[in-house]
Chains A and B, each alone.
Chain A
Amino acid sequence: MQVGSSYLGEPIARVEDPRLLTGGGRYLDDLGQDAVELAVLRSPHAHARILDIDVSGAIDVPGLLAIYTYDDLSGPLAEPLPLLIPHPSISAGRTQYVLAKDEVNYVGEAIAVVVAENRYLAEDAAERIEVSYELLPPVVGLVAAREAQQLVHRDVEGNVAAHFVQQVGDAAAAIAAAPHRLSLELSVERSASTPLEGRGVLARWDTDSQRLRVWTSTQTATGVRAAIAARLGLDLGSVEVITPDVGGGFGVKIVHPWPEEVLVPMAARALGRAVKFTEDRREHFISSAHERAQLHEVEVGFDDEGHLLGLSVRFWHDNGAYLPYGLIVPIITSTQLLGPYKPAAYRVEFESLYTNTVIVTPYRGAGRPQGVFAMERTMDAIAAELGIDRAEVRARNFIQPEEMPYDHGLIFQDGRPLVYDSGDFPATLDKLKALVGWDEWPAYQAQARASGRKVGLGLACYVEGTGVGPYEGGHVQIETTGKVKVSTGLTSQGQGHQTAFAQIVADELGVAISDIEVVTGDTRRFPYAVGTFASRAAVMSGSAIALAARAARAKILRVAADALEAAAEDLEIVDGMVRVKGAPGNEIALGTVAVLSNPLRYAFDEASKAATQFAVGDPDLPPVAEDDEPGLEGKDYYSPLRSTFANGMHAVIVETDPDTAEVAILRYCVVHDCGTLINPRIVEGQIHGGVAQGVAGALYERMAYDESGQLQNASFMDFLMPYVSEVPERIEIDHLETRSPLNPLGIKGAGEAGVIPGAAVFASAISDAEGFQITAMPISPSELFELRRQHAANAAQKGTQP
């Protein structure tokens, strides 16, 4: 790195890594070695009434400290957990209790907790608690939920939590009048975030100061803090929440408070001991959260060129047993389904349905993969119907760059108008076509077919609303050592925020990366924040930190101008020195500026003498000016009017085995536009990980619930999370950088992008290879094999008919 050059846009190595590579990471279960441990007794039944809980058998387990059931709770602790994001179309919002009250609604729901000297003993005791149940009929899967022969919640008719409609124009009339019409029935199954580290919470109650300190593996420290304070009846100021290193999140850790996030602090306060809960893998499968399951019915009307005249989508969303996260996932599906296209009229209607399975909350992509699947299957169907090239049909429906900002006339997940800020979809498509060799494909495919191979090319486009509000903040402080301390309230789960945010500050302040320390997700350092989700960290905190650094810079220049007896405009900061441009030697170190910014009475060391009362200051002015503050720091917030919209297009080439129906990935190509790249290496890493999850959702992962609501594959042995052998050997990536006009750095967010078009692009490619349309994802070899059989049988039957 040359002095004075820019860090922004450089693929620098991460500052987090040396610590994490040597075993120096501090994840939740690495903390609190002195803590006693909590284990949870969970429901073995999907739907049952609790008749009795008998803890007497557990009482003599050595090392037992406490057992809690619902009956031990009182006040706000005994109330249902919050419905975090209310929405007017929720007609029956139900949330769970921290410990089940009278009834359980999914296998894995917490019924009792045990605290003992260690986890082994806590589990010994939990095993000895006897619960008697009256079994109730479970509702498993969307079809059963929609039929509503049985109800999840007795008082929720039809299992319907919410019914929602949005429209622009008269889609039904437009479809009826269109020269061509098609209808599609589509489905996507459940999957889950599945970070390698599960959930975990540690709490310490300080009896002397009556304060609570909590560490939790979360995506929102401030959210957890507020929730704990409310539940435990504590002042916000008496609760601190710290996010340690987090071993992946992907959405699931944005949910809060988890029952354990309330129960662990409760027990810590009651027992006066540090208490810890570390989730095990099975618990993560059955008691955290899943996503994705939806059924779609699409009606589309189009003209001879394939222009969308009317689009009408009805879908059913499986929200699981409770609705803590409101309607965010299906609302995102319903709006982001539109992708880069502009149908002349659009109507969407969905029902969010209860089932006796694990709750559904955002998993990376958050409703977009399903929406993109529905839209892109529709595009392929139109192309097939009209015999037009699949890329061409898409291009004809694109919103054009000159139409930006583009207002869809709908309301987005943040309650604000769905207005795309930027993007150049035709250019993105051109890049992708060039990257994958779109125009050469027909010849390649024909040649492969001639030699008995089944190969297919898939294409999928998406737009991703990122960087949703309401706000984030940043704080930048220059210490008297010249070191720069940066903090922001949102949390990190491996996205390299410490590096990316340091790059921003290094450029704004003219200091070396090695002199900057970034802290995220610690309410002691920055108490106002929202959280890390919706690919928002770079946009929100990146922007806030840039603004805070600019404020700090202005103050640096002001103080230094005084000391150097120069005008602030004539100063520059290079490598930690403030100097007068073109006057070598006339300079002052940032650390000294920090000393001077804080007028002192007492000198605590040699350097600070410079700021004492007989050394500095104009005796005719107050030492701290009326509109100023002591110290060299800057704080600012970034709160955008609306979301930014990143976009991208993926293409995949697959080969399906003629005998076994296994799907091999020959090439995977990505073109991606997330605006300004802070660190291209980190962005590419995000895409790699997202693509792997896209492959997983298309070909491998699903939640195999049986009809009684037991999750049959609740382990890494049975849930087919991809190893290296399942992901493409290479992911070919090309970027576009159309800056967002909405924030100071032009960033659009990159965290979720890679996963979004996964199901759509594989369905497109497999359909192309097989010659029939794939309508349900994920798809396993045995399912593809069965589809082949059915299509062959249908074809044979047609052949025999006159």
Chain B
Amino acid sequence: MTEQLHEVGLTVNGAAYQAEVPARRLLSDFLRHDLRLTGTHVGCEHGVCGACTVLVDGVPMRSCLLLAVSVQGQHVTTVEGLAAPDGTLSAVQRAFQECHGLQCGFCTAGFLTTITAGLRQNPEPTIEQAREMIGGNLCRCTGYQNIVAAVLRAAEIGGGDAGGE
């Protein structure tokens, strides 16, 4: 018995895709292995670590908890879509490098997407709001100190433009 396939059409980082996937194909696997956008990482596959966070119509969502078929017709932004088309890093990405907000880099895509959406909603966060903004993402390397600093720095250099579409 081979698996039944379903049509799905969606936009990822501005490019339209049409694909046939099994109903159980996770969005994270679809992005990583079907579209080969491997910048989105999977740290827990149960919705807790936030490493797999992507923006779906601008809203941060955990791609390990979504089925690919369920994002029919929607716009997905992954970490690959955060820099400008000419490769210029977004304010959040630059702030991460300036503040040493990453070590192994495995959690980073999830933080970048989360913060990108967070700063769009609140372009001038206080330190408490910055901590809250990243409160649902796990990082084992940095102790979060420099990630919080990067949120504040991104707000400073971004001038409200967090990048990513």
Residues of A with Cβ closer than 8 Å to B? 13-14, 16-18, 20-27, 29-30, 33, 62, 120, 194-197, 245-248, 250, 280-281, 493-496, 681-682, 684-685, 688-693, 715-717, 721, 723-725, 727, 729-731, 754
Does B162 belong to the interface (CB within 8 Å)?
no
The answer to whether B97 and A194 touch across the interface, beta carbons within 8 angstroms, is no
Measured as residues with beta carbon below 8 angstroms from the partner, the interface class of chain B is 35 or more
Q: B106 touching A280 by the CB < 8 A rule? A: no
List, sorted by A's number, 12 A–B pairs whose CB atoms are closer than 8 Å: A17-B97, A20-B108, A22-B79, A29-B42, A33-B36, A196-B41, A196-B49, A280-B45, A493-B104, A682-B100, A688-B146, A754-B143
* Prevailing SS type, chain A contact patch: loop
Please indicate the chain B residues that have their CB under 8 angstroms from the CB of A724 in the complex.
131, 134-135, 137, 144, 147-148
Give Cα A754–Cα B112 distance, bound, in whole angstroms. 26
- Contact status B44-A715, CB under 8 Å: yes
Set A17, A26, A281: member contacting B44, Cβ < 8 A: A281
Which residues of chain B are near A281, meaning CB under 8 Å?
43-46
Given A495-B103, A725-B131, does the pair A195, B97 have CB atoms closer than 8 Å?
no
How far, in Å, is A730 (CB) from chain B's closest CB? 7
Within 8 A of A (CB), among B59-94: 78-80, 82-83, 87, 89, 93
Q: Are A716 and B48 in contact (CB under 8 A)?
A: yes
Residues of A within 8 A of B89 (CB): 18, 21-22
B127 to chain A, nearest CB (A): 7
Q: Which A residues lie within 8 Å of B138 (CB)?
A: 196, 716, 721, 723
Nearest-neighbor residue (CB-CB) of A249 within chain B? B104
Least distance between A16 CB and chain B CB atoms (Å): 7
Q: Which residue of A lies closest to B2 (CB)?
A: A62
Asked if A721 and B39 make an inter-chain contact with CB atoms under 8 angstroms apart, the answer reads: no
Contacts of A496 in B (CB 8 A): 103
**Majority SS at the chain B contact face:** loop
Whether B46 and A715, one on each chain, are in contact in the complex, defined by CB atoms closer than 8 angstroms, is yes
B157 on the interface (CB 8 Å rule)?
no
Q: Would A689 and B140 count as touching, CB distance under 8 A?
A: yes
User: CB-nearest residue of chain B relative to A733?
Assistant: B145
A23-B109, A195-B104, A196-B104 given; A715·B48 CB < 8 A: yes
Q: Are B145's CB and A22's CB within 8 A?
A: no
Contact across chains for B106 and A195 when beta carbons are under 8 A apart: yes
Q: Report if B53 contacts A (CB, 8 A).
A: no
Q: How far is the CA of A166 from the CA of B87 in the complex (A)?
A: 60
B122 shortest CB reach to chain A, Å? 16
Knowing A23-B78, A246-B104, A681-B100 are in contact, say whether A723-B137 is a contact too (CB < 8 A): yes
Report yes or no: A197 in contact with B46, Cβ–Cβ below 8 A: no
Residues of A within 8 A of B33 (CB): 33
Nearest CB of chain B from residue A363's CB, rounded to whole Å: 11
Contact B135 A725 (CB under 8 A): yes
* Contacting residues, chain B, for A120 (C-beta < 8 A): 22, 24-25
Choice from A246, A280, A493, A691 contacting B143 with Cβ under 8 Å? A691
Q: Which of A26, A27, A682, A716 is close to B46, meaning CB atoms less than 8 Å apart?
A: A716
CB distance from B61 to the nearest CB of A (A): 17
| Cβ B1 vs Cβ A62 within 8 A | yes
User: Once the chains are docked, how many angstroms separate the CA of A263 from the CA of B109?
Assistant: 31
A729 vs B148: C-alpha distance in the bound complex, in angstroms?
9
Q: How far is the CA of A194 from the CA of B37 in the complex (A)?
A: 25
For chain B residues 1-53, which have a beta carbon within 8 Å of chain A? 1-3, 22, 24-25, 32-33, 36-46, 48-49, 51
Q: Does B155 contact A (CB under 8 A)?
A: no
Q: Do B103 and A22 have beta carbons less than 8 Å apart?
A: no
A197, B41: Cβ atoms under 8 Å?
yes
B105, CB-defined interface residue at 8 Å: yes
Looking at B41, B107, B143, the one whose CB has the most chain A CB atoms below 10 A away is B143
The 4 A-B pairs of least Cβ separation, nearest first, read A23-B39, A494-B104, A247-B106, A692-B143
**In the assembled complex, which residues on chain A have CB atoms less than 8 Å from the CB atom of B144?**
688, 692, 723-724, 727
14 more A-B residue pairs beyond the given contacts A21-B112, A195-B104, with a C-beta to C-beta distance below 8 A = A13-B97, A21-B105, A22-B89, A23-B80, A27-B38, A29-B32, A30-B38, A120-B25, A493-B104, A494-B106, A495-B103, A689-B103, A689-B143, A692-B144
Q: Give complex CA distance A689, B100 in Å.
A: 12
A248 vs B98: C-alpha distance when bound (angstroms): 21
**B79 with A196: CB separation less than 8 A:** no
CB contacts (< 8 Å) of A681 on chain B: these are 100
Cβ B146 vs Cβ A723 within 8 A: no
Which residues of the other chain, B, contact A17 by a CB distance below 8 angstroms? Answer: 96-97, 102, 105
- Counting CB contacts under 8 A, is B136 at the interface? yes
Which residue of the partner chain B has the closest CB to A23?
Answer: B39
In the complex formed, the residue of B with least CB distance to A61 is B1
B142 at the interface (CB under 8 A from A): yes
Instruction: Check A731–B98 contact: CB distance below 8 A.
Output: no
Structural contact, A27 and B112, CB atoms closer than 8 A: no
Report the separation of the CA atoms of residues A82 and B49 in the bound assembly, to the nearest whole angstrom: 34
Give every chain A residue within 8 A of B117 (Cβ-Cβ): none
Given that A23-B79, A729-B131 are contacting pairs, would A196 and B106 also be in contact in the complex, using a CB cutoff of 8 Å?
yes
Partner of A689, one of B83, B93, B142: B142
**Nearest Cβ on chain A to B32's Cβ, whole angstroms:** 7
Q: Which residues of A contact B36 (CB under 8 A)?
A: 33
Q: Which residues of A contact B41 (CB under 8 A)?
A: 27, 196-197, 247
Residues of B within 8 A of A21 (CB): 79, 89, 93, 96-97, 102, 105, 108, 112
B108 touches A197 (CB 8 A): no
Whether B46 lies near A717 (C-beta < 8 A) is yes
Which residue of B3, B42, B104 is within 8 Å of A248 (Cβ)? Answer: B104
Complex CA–CA separation, A29 to B46 (angstroms): 17
Are B142 and A685 in touch, CB under 8 angstroms? yes
- Chain B residues contacting A280 (CB-CB under 8 Å) are 45
Which of A23, A197, A684, A727 sits near B104, CB closer than 8 Å? A197
CB distance from B156 to the nearest CB of A (A): 16
B139: Cβ under 8 A from any A Cβ = yes
A27 to B79 alpha-carbon distance, docked (Å): 15
- Residue-by-residue, is B121-165 near A (CB-CB < 8 Å gives 1, otherwise 0)? 000000100010011111111111111100000000000000000
Cross-chain contact A729 with B103 (CB below 8 angstroms): no
Q: Is the CB of B143 within 8 A of A731?
A: yes
Contacts of B141 in A (CB 8 A): 196, 248, 494, 685, 689
Interchain CB contact under 8 A, A688 and B105: no
Which listed residue (A16, A194, A729, A731) contacts B127, Cβ 8 A?
A: A729
CA distance A493 to B104 in the complex (A): 6
Residue of A nearest to B97 (CB): A17
Contacts of B104 in A (CB 8 A): 195-197, 245-248, 493-494
> Shortest Cβ distance from B21 into chain A, in angstroms?
11
Inter-subunit contact B105/A494 (CB<8 Å):
yes
Q: CB distance B107 to A22 under 8 Å? A: no
Q: For residue B18, give the distance in angstroms from its CB to the closest CB of chain A.
A: 19
Residue of B nearest to A754 (CB): B143
Residue in chain B with minimal CB distance to A248: B104
Give Cα A29–Cα B42 distance, bound, in whole angstroms.
9
- Using A14-B100, A120-B24, A725-B135 as known contacts, say yes or no to A25 and B143 having CB atoms under 8 A apart: no
Residues of A with C-beta under 8 A to B140: 194-196, 248, 250, 689, 693, 721
B46 → chain A, closest Cβ, in Å? Answer: 6
* Chain B residues, Cβ within 8 Å of A494: 102-106, 141
Most buried by B among A24, A27, A247, A250: A247
Please report the C-alpha to C-alpha distance between residue A373 and residue B142 in the assembled complex, in whole angstroms.
Answer: 24
B134 contacts which chain A residues (CB < 8 A)? Answer: 724
Q: In whole Å, how far is B49's beta carbon from the nearest beta carbon of chain A?
A: 5
Contacts of B109 in A (CB 8 A): 23
In Å, the complex CA distance between A255 and B70 comes to 40
- The docked-state distance in angstroms from the alpha carbon of A648 to that of B49 is 31
Chain B's nearest CB lies how many Å from the CB of A231? Answer: 28
Chain B proximity of A693: nearest CB distance (Å):
8
- Chain A residue numbers with a CB within 8 Å of B139 are 196
> In the complex, A22 Cα to B87 Cα: how many Å?
9
Given contacts A685-B142, A727-B144, contact A20 B43 (CB under 8 A): no
B46 touches A196 (CB 8 A): no
Taking the nearest CB of chain B, how far is it from the CB of A1, in angstroms?
15
Kindly list chain B residues whose C-beta atoms are within 8 Å of the C-beta of A727: 143-145
